[in-house]
Amino acid sequence: MRTAYSVETVRAAERELMARLPEGALMQRAAAGLAVACGELLGRVYGTRVVLLVGSGDNGGDALYAGARLARRGAGVAVVLLSPERAHQGGLAALRAAGGRVSGDALRDIACADLVVDGIVGIGGRGGLRPEAAQLARAARESALVLAVDLPSGVDADSGEVRGEAVRADATVTFGAYKPGLLVDPARERAGALRLVDIGLTLPEEADVEALQHADVADLLPRPTAESDKYRRGVVGVVAGSARYPGAAVLAVAGALRGGAGAVRYVGPAADKVLAHFPETLVHPGPPDKAGRVQSWVIGPGIGDESDALAEVLAADVPVLVDADGLRFLTPRQVRERTAETLLTPHAGEAAALLGRGRDEVEAARMESVRELAAQYAATVLLKGSTTLVAGADGPVRVNPTGTSWLATAGSGDVLSGVTGSLLAAGLTARDAGSVGAYLHGLAARRAAGPGGAPILASEVADHLGAAWRNVTD
Ligand SMILES: NC(=O)C1=CN([C@@H]2O[C@H](COP(=O)(O)OP(=O)(O)OC[C@H]3O[C@@H](n4cnc5c(N)ncnc54)[C@H](O)[C@@H]3O)[C@@H](O)[C@H]2O)[C@@H](O)CC1
Ligand SMILES: [K+]
């Protein structure tokens, strides 16, 4: 599991460790790791030209001490001091002693640089870059590799929000723990390749944000045993599709059949189309409460205005996943009154409608939006997007690391609903089903798109779910 911790938690862990170490030891650990990463990004150190952008805090101190290490190994290091009177004095002295110099012409030095190190602000930053720093960051981006110290300056470490201008880095070296913003868009996209330098912090067991890795997903995937039959493996009921959108039913069932449940029961008007594609489906014309027992329901993809079915499904005492059209008729009260778990899977536009705000606002504040929805509905919420997030009323927010922008294609959400609902039927909690479903779905899409990337169909994502599953468990 990759974990991320809030600034408050990291600061507390740093204080606790600093009290036990000689002064400056932590910064030396950070600077040593940073210098190694600079060397690796450059390919060699001797003879290269490095520019440090240094602000007024310890983030600049890290950059200065790392710069001193690079200068000792033969790099030409120049520092641009954004607040000369407040720059880290020890770091500046170390850089000078190692042969580094203070830049007299920042733009000219940047234009000749191989690497620009962003030590403008770290976890002490507030808001976007100030105008002078923004101009230097743009110039750096045009002419050199950019490596961010701890996080790209200008992004919000806790939320991943980018409210003004921010550094766009090729790589980010972060200290002690990943910060939530490094894993969540729009900040994630500014961070480039991530590297964590261990500085010895002791962190709490429960992280603020976590991202599953292959091994975590493999542990969570349901596996049939010798005693399993199709009913014990779980039956997922799918209420999807309409005369106008029969394809949504086919795609949701395609996902559900590959999500690990023992059987899929389709309820709705597109049974002929579903059976033509998947003869293994059990079908029923409805209503849902007459269709037979299920261990979970998926409702919403392409159902149009069918709100009676929604009320019926929500009344059932099994986990329910509500997606797409289903979300249009949902009230917080209906969900809060349920005893079994509810998983809502909106994209940003649907989340915006539920929250009564603009889509742009949801995109800009994804973490806050998903948490707010989870609290409002007392449910688990999976917010789809460039970094899909899964949040419950409490506990860490899960970030899906396997997404790809090729997934932004019609019908891919229907497949996700199916596979995730199937995992619910197999007995996973809403948080696990949502994050495992998103993980497999992203992996399947990547496989469908191929190594170089190419447009994919939602049905191809469904076709690759089996390969994604094997990829995780092999
Ligand atoms: N505390 C520790 O033990 C360690 C801290 N480390 C480094 O120290 C950093 C945190 O240092 P600080 O707390 O000094 O904070 P920062 O260096 O992140 O920045 C705080 C300073 O920047 C100014 N500032 C805030 N927002 C700004 C903006 N938008 N534009 C320009 N200036 C702005 C503030 O006025 C303040 O002076 C970490 O990110 C990490 O890089 C590492 O050395 C590891 C150990
Ligand atoms: K930085």
Query: What are 298-308's pLDDT values in tens digits?
Result: 999 999 987 89
Domains of the chain: 2-210 (3.40.50.10260), 214-473 (3.40.1190.20)
Radius of gyration of the chain (CA): 25
Q: Please check if 385 is assigned to a binding site.
A: yes
Residue 37: predicted pLDDT: 98
Task: Please report the ipTM that was assigned to this predicted complex.
Answer: 0.97
- Which stretches in the chain have pLDDT values below 50? none
Helix or strand run (H / E) with residue 102: strand 101-102
Cα dist from 97 to 15, 55, 85, whole Å: 29, 20, 19
Q: Whose CA is nearest to atom 25 of ligand 1?
A: 125
Strand runs (DSSP E) across 250-387, as ranges?
263-267, 282-284, 296-299, 320-322, 342-344, 380-383
* Res 191: pLDDT: 98
- Say if residue 408 is exposed, middle or buried (CB neighbours under 10 Å; 0-12, 13-18, 19+): middle
Lookup: tokens for 462: 């469904």
Distance in Å, CA 124 to ligand 2 centroid:
10
- Tell me the C-alpha to C-alpha distance, in Å, between residue 427 and each of 106, 198, 387: 59, 37, 25
Beta bridge partners of 142: none
Burial class of residue 310 in the structure, from the number of CB atoms within 10 Å of its CB (0-12 exposed, 13-18 middle, 19+ buried)? buried
Which tokens belong to 263?
């059987």
Are residues 309 and 315 in contact, defined by beta-carbon separation less than 8 angstroms?
no
pLDDT in tens, 181-225: 999 999 999 999 999 999 999 999 999 999 999 999 999 999 988
What integer pLDDT is reported at residue 414 of this predicted model?
Answer: 98
Pocket of ligand 1 (CB under 6 A): 14, 18, 26-27, 30, 55-60, 62, 121-127, 130, 149-150, 175, 199
CA pair distance 306, 58, nearest whole angstrom: 58
b (16+ CB within 10 A) / e for 78-88: bbbbbeeeebb
Q: What is the pLDDT of residue 93?
A: 98
Which residues, 6 or more positions from 179, have their beta carbon under 8 angstroms from its beta carbon?
4, 5, 6, 7, 10, 123, 150, 151, 157, 158
Is residue 345 a known part of a binding site?
no
* Short-list 82, 47, 48, CA closest to 64: 82
